Copies of this chain bind each other. A is one copy, B any other.
């Protein structure tokens, strides 16, 4: 097997040394360790296809890997079979930007292109690719697509799913689906690409993508607005959508408890209000047109909001420095929370209109079942994505007998609240190996059956990233599908 792999990808494309393999076998936070026969690094789509044909003949599992920046262990190889430990297939050598079509606003890239490199290349021709997240210096396009990455721009541009104009995918058996025309309109049958977006490498290997580009922004305005409660924040969002819907770049709701932690643990925090407001919203508007009066639009909208009582105080940034001071607080949340204690963070989403109800219900559950926790809310309100956090003191956590079991108990309690609002337990982080049981527990049964049928159709031997997303045994899949 190893020799035949070397024939396909050359010595440069193969790692068999255990210590060199290490970074490919462990998640980036060092929490999970997997194993594999070797790491293969093909340089072309044809090489990927040849590797997949060989893996099919040898009945070896394949674990596709992008930048290995996931949070749910979806890139950790683990076949659970001693004799078929499988191969890690890294896309990192496929790192070419194939073309940038400025008129069509489409960039065509290899799956291994790092997000930050794409940003740089399209900026150079006056365009942006509006996907931004903390790991953009190492996350790769193929992995971002396979996990349907979100990031901070979702309220305006959607997740990466909405930015994909086409895909090139190598299927489990080595067939290549070529769908890179990047057409804006095509009504010739079933659109298959969405099956592979967010499939976490379980249906095929994304080797290339056509991506929609957007114009650069020339102008922005920033505000921090105190609101009496989450319902008022929802009403404020609606007012802003009337006046400035297409300009909303960010709309972030924070609880006082969260801002207090930032003020306690982080340097250079300036609170422009006389007291930290119980609830507040940080807003960014931006426009491609430098003459758009964004601050005036904000002022007018806030004027209406004060009159109707949905805003109680507000600061509009008068300078870039003031804008940075506002967003410094938002971006310091993780740092502050790490210093405070052990936070069990949830990544749920409900409809924007249901966010106030969800928060109230989650607060009730938390105070009844986990009275030791202090709760914080950090919410991308425009997406309905609530990071609802239960913060436990280090001492309390250290004394727990079974930390994993306790964390699961907390998570399930909050997931159940989201489910009661037809919400999701994983808005942007995915399922990976971490949440497969929650998926089986909470997914609509018909949808789950269909997912198993799709898996059976495209990967009948369950060799593509087995154990991720769906149960790892073929029998389990068949048991549900029939």
**A-to-B contact residues, CB < 8 Å:** 101-106, 126, 147-148, 150, 154-155, 158-159, 161-162, 171, 175-195, 197-199, 203, 214-216, 234-235, 237-238, 241-247, 287-289, 291-293, 296-297, 349-354, 380, 382-385, 422-431, 435, 439, 442-444, 446-447, 449-451, 453-454, 457, 469-470
Contact = CB atoms under 8 A, between A and B. Distances in A.
Contact of A188 (B106, B176, B431): B431
B181 A353 contact: no
B384 A183 contact: yes
A326 B428 CA distance: 45
A391 B457 CA distance: 46
20 contacts: A103-B238, A104-B353, A106-B351, A155-B184, A161-B191, A176-B446, A178-B446, A181-B423, A185-B349, A185-B383, A185-B385, A185-B424, A188-B426, A190-B198, A191-B195, A194-B194, A214-B245, A215-B245, A292-B292, A454-B457
A335 to B, nearest CB: 24
B427 A187 contact: yes
B194 A191 contact: yes
Given A189-B469, A190-B198, 6 more contacts: A178-B447, A187-B424, A191-B197, A192-B447, A192-B450, A216-B242
Q: Which of A189, A422, A444, A450 has the most B CB atoms < 10 Å from its CB?
A: A189
Nearest to A106: B351
A184 B103 contact: no
Contact of A187 (B148, B184, B454): B148
Number of copies of this chain that the complex holds: 2
Contacts of A188: 424-426, 430-431, 435, 439, 442-443
A44 to B, nearest CB: 17
A128 to B, nearest CB: 10
A244 B287 CA distance: 9
Contacts of A182: 351
A427 B191 contact: no
Given A150-B185, A189-B451, A192-B454, A162 B162 contact: yes
B194 A447 contact: no
A112 to B, nearest CB: 22
Nearest to A449: B175
Contact of A183 (B179, B183, B292, B423): B423
A185 B430 CA distance: 10
Contact of A189 (B158, B198, B293, B352): B198
Contacts of A159: 185, 187
Contacts of A187: 147-148, 150, 159, 198, 424, 426-431
A103 B237 contact: yes
A143 to B, nearest CB: 13
A380 B185 CA distance: 10
B184 A154 contact: yes
Contact of A446 (B175, B198, B215, B429): B175
Contact of A422 (B181, B428, B451): B181
7 closest A-B pairs (Cβ-Cβ)? A215-B245, A194-B194, A103-B353, A185-B427, A181-B422, A104-B351, A186-B424
Contacts of A158: 184
Contacts of A186: 349, 424, 426-427
Contacts of A237: 103
Nearest to A448: B189
A101 B421 CA distance: 14
Contact of A352 (B103, B191, B446): B103
Contact of A191 (B198, B350, B382): B198
A469 B190 CA distance: 9
